[in-house]
Structure 1
Amino acid sequence: MMNAMSSQEAAHTGSLELTVVMPCLNEAETLAVCVDKAMAALRDNNIAGEVVVADNGSTDGSQQIATTHGARVVNVPIRGYGAALNAGILAAQGKYVLMADADDSYNFTHIPRFLEKLRNGADLVMGNRFAGGIGPGAMPPLHKYLGNPVLSWMGRTLFHTPVGDFHCGIRAFSKSAYESLALRTTGMEFASEMVVKASLQKQNIVEVPTTLQKDGRSRPPHLKTWRDGWRHFRFLLLYSPRWLFLFPGLTLMLGGFGLMAWLMPAERPLGHVNLGVDTLAYAAAAVLLGFQLVFFGVAAKVFAITEGLLPEDESFDRWFQYITLETGLIAGVLLLLVGIGIAASSVVGWAHTGYGPLPPVEMMRRTLPAMLCLMLGTQVCFGSFFLSLLGLRRR
């Protein structure tokens, strides 16, 4: 029978199946019980495994506690939740890795249900605390009823991630699948980045129910509600340029163009007011602002793919078979010519009046479209050069 302690022998032959990784920063109060529970779960279920404590600079003797109770300690000088976990995972000797906090809030007897999914071909197995049960006082009401549900909904909406608990701290994955993610973040965003990138790479993600109980520490947790909640929210948006830039930009552009087309011939009544050239000016501004957001979205996507932050996107690549530097320059020049043509016609009309006073409303109906075409044409031309520069593949 293989037990947790004899798994050290298996490590020398490369036959370890599971490594349990715990990030640690001054967890002396609860670390021993967590290591003991993880070791017992490995031993009682005949799992060839090990426990790794990724220590992030503890000053309370956590390192000695971990070693005394049979864990292997990996010292991580770079501070941060993500940095500690990444170092521990890379040092893992098992084929699979399960990560969990060292605060005695997670149930290590659930290790077999995670491992079963991995053995059946899952790349990432997420725990779901809402499905398994959250003990009294284990999760602040703000996290339970607002933060986690909202952020999990965003994950499902933005990245089609099939999980109901996006930020569960106990999860398991194959080490090879993890290494393909090439995670970059070192802080609390690490947990979100893992799920987002696994979704974008179309890895096999499944969930298992797990429980959460009130942690055993007497000090406050490292997690800060508003600061870390905002960081997760910001991260999800930054990894989805479509929702952050593209869709709002297209909405502004199409709405602005539609409003301009409606107001160009004449003033339009809307209830008890008339919409005229003032509204036309705001519509032109909406088109211009919308174009800039769309451009930011495309540029962000190109940069993220080029730098390896996001995986290759076949549909995006197909668009760029047609949207090239040359086509961008042609479109920009055409817009410039249209703007110059409208401006020239206005000057010709002014000449026919002997360069005298002109009706301001009538002239604004020409000036605004001319200005918009000139500005859009200039931005399209220079934006095409910028995208072409971003798209250069680095050796």
Structure 2
Amino acid sequence: MDRRRPGWRESVGDGALALALLAVGLAGTGPAAADEGGTADGRGYALVVVAALALAVRRRWPFVTLAVAAVATTAYLVLGYPYGPILVSFFVAVYTVATHRTVRPAALASAVALVLLTGHVFVDARSPGLLGLMPAAAWVVVPFAVGTTVRLSREAAARTRAEEARRLADGERLRVAQEVHDVVGHGLAAIHMQAEIALHLLEKRPEQAHAALAAISSTSKEALDELRVTLAVVRRGDGAAERAPAPGLAQVPALRDRLAGTGLPVAVEVDGEPRALPVAVDLAAYRVVQESLTNVLRHAGPATAAVRIRYAPAEVGVEVTDTGRGAPGPARGTAGSGLAGMRERITALGGSFDAGPTAGGGFRVYARLPVEERA
């Protein structure tokens, strides 16, 4: 139900419509009466003016507009004037009620208007009797049906837009949640491992413990910086996302260096010529590498890892293997924040994803992402 007050553009439009129908009524009432062998006098024209000008407030007060138009039109017909342009004003008034109000009150108001309009059939001696009910009823039934259809179509379109907005909002929240999980999960895993090293070496080798604590400080700062960039996506307009671009495969060497401080040796191998990738593809590939290495750090035990990046003309592939325990741990299962989360990222971009234990006892994660070739 449309209960909002019309804006100035709508009010101006209603006023223009009222003036247009007034001009039509004044110009067409005389000829319409002449065609029926009658004449239109001052009373008839006055009723035409009232019915037309009532439409100037049709969206602000639909029921009032319909009441005025119905009374004026009924009086016009009861006084013996033939059908003419005044019925167009009545038609628009019924249509307006059906369009801007719900079915029950609109139907009730239209039914009352119909009773009033058909009253002339019984009081006018020149009326064709009950046969005159059909054309009179059409001036109510047709605009009511059209107006109701328009209103239902608008409501359906509004629901569709609202559902689409909710779907997009939910997708954005899930994407940001995945980004936060990847950033925070990797940072905390690295910090935890470095803290364990620092506690172990604190008394025996304080100088190495100092290096581990320095690595904790550096890792936490980098994780916080990346988290700020991720959350800046939600706060449109602060410019943070533009000042600090999203991470990509070019940051894999820096990721390797950070993990070296946790005791996880990572070898990086690049096949093909590195090139600029679409932001979404670049970020998804980097997150697969980051999450896979985080899983190695958390669950593989003493291990080494290898990252292979393959650039092809129409795709890019990333593979992460390790020499640790091949049996899947909690993060390697199907939870939404583990392998399933990586799979969702890749398949959403039209790629393929595979993960599982290797024959040698380690674990392998592979992702392939299509890249559109530029002309």
Instruction: Please indicate, yes or no, whether the TM-score normalized by the shorter chain is above 0.5.
Output: no
Structure with greater contact order relative to length (CA < 8 Å, sep ≥ 6): 1
Higher helix share: 2
**Which protein shows a greater Rg?**
2
